[in-house]
Amino acid sequence: MSEKLKHKFQIHYYLKDGAHSMDAETRNRAEKDFLDAVSRIAELSGTPITVESVAYEEGGLQEVYILLGVVVTFLSPSINNVITYYFTQDKEIAELDKKIKEETLKGLRLDNAVKENDLLKALSDKKVIRSVSAFYKKVEKYEKVHQIGFMGVSSNSKEHVIERKDFGKFILHDSKELIEDDDAEIEIISPVLNKGRFKWRGIYKGEQIDFSMGDSSFKQEVESGQHSFIHGSTIVCHLKITITYDDFGDEVKKGYSVSEVYSIAQYKKKEPVLRQSGLRKERMKNQIKLFTEPKDETEE
């Protein structure tokens, strides 16, 4: 028979000047990120969890949650430890990370069939870490909070307190990479015929993309009716692709921008009509070819 478990988990916001109130929007938005993390942890454990919120107490501001779930797999018996681990592990301090991991492992009743490395893998889930990052990102902007404590109330564990100066260590920071294709061919699906900062839509290397048109002279030509677009119309252009990665190195999003249009063709297989920029490009290409091709020094 399945065993019903009730866990109490507390988030303690330590507020400046002994305050007992907190901006409701900040608290509610941070709470959503916390609940997203709990929901994902429940998903990893295979344990359906219902979360109930208890009326918060003073002493700074203490949020108490009741987690109701059924024991299914290895994360359930000590879910408070897992939540504490995610919200208090410091990715920049290896010793603290190791210590909390050891405490977490010690608190779990591992089934013989479940290997320790499976648990460690679960404790590094990217979706949970993103929710934790979002939580700290929102609270960091609210200067009234100078510390946050996390504690499993029902298990009588000690409170782990995170200082404001360390909030940023839990926040993921995106990095960007710029790729440029100077001979990009885009089949136009949806052009922008009127003025405005709207996205064009097309097909690039078999993939549908939305892109901004940064060639102002081409935009003017389109707006004045110099170019018409039908099924199969294509442009050859200089395309900039900005790829954003998160702290894990995973791709978050791609942005596309055309900086210069070299030619346009009514049909995909029809000979393209070169614009001035395309003619300049061809001249430059021919000049480079002229100066770089080796001379034939053989005598007749």
85-118 pLDDT, tens digit per residue, is 888 876 554 554 555 566 555 555 544 444 455 5
Beta strands 49-58 and 145-152: pairing type? unpaired
78/9 Cα distance (integer angstroms): 11
Dist. CA 84–CA 96, nearest whole Å: 13
120, pLDDT greater than 70: no
pLDDT of residue 117: 55
Band of pLDDT at residue 283, cut at 50, 70 and 90: confident
Domains of the chain: 4-170 (no CATH), 175-278 (2.40.50)
| Segment of 24-28, 150-154, 194-198 carrying the highest mean pLDDT | 24-28
Using a pLDDT cut of 70, give the percent of the chain over it: 75
pLDDT for 60-82, tens place per residue? 688 887 777 654 444 554 677 77
Left, alpha or beta for 59 (phi > 0: left; psi -120 to 50: alpha)?
left
Asked which of 130-144, 180-194, 251-265, 278-292 is least confident by mean pLDDT, the reply is 278-292
Per-residue HEC secondary structure of the chain comes to CCCEEEEEEEEEEEEHHHCCCCCHHHHHHHHHHHHHHHHHHHHHHCCCEEEEEEEEEECCEEEEEEEEEECCCCCHHHHHHHHHHHHHCCCCCHHHHHHHHHHHHHHCCCCCCCCHHHHHHHCCCHHHHHHHHHHHHHHHCCCCEEEEEEEECCCCCCCEEEEHHHHHHHCCCCEEEEEEEEEEEEEEEECCCCCCCCCEEEEECCEEEEEEECCHHHHHHHHCCCCCCCCCCEEEEEEEEEEEECCCCCEEEEEEEEEEEEEEECCCCCCCEECHHHHHHHHHHHHHHHHHCCCCCCCC
At 282, list the tokens. 């061809």
For residues 109 and 275, which has the higher predicted lDDT (pLDDT)? 275
Instruction: Tell me the pLDDT band of 203, cut-offs 50, 70 and 90.
Output: very high
Q: What percent of the chain has pLDDT over 90?
A: 34
Q: What is the pLDDT of residue 205?
A: 95
CA atoms within 13 A on the CB side of 108: 28
Phi/psi at 162 (5° precision):
-110, 125
Q: How confident is the model at residue 158 (pLDDT cuts 50, 70, 90)?
A: confident
Q: What is the spatial distance between Cα 151 and Cα 80, in angstroms, rounded to a whole number?
A: 7
Contact 282, 290 (CB under 8 A): no
Write the single-letter amino acid at 17.
D
- Is the predicted pLDDT of residue 228 greater than 90, yes or no? no
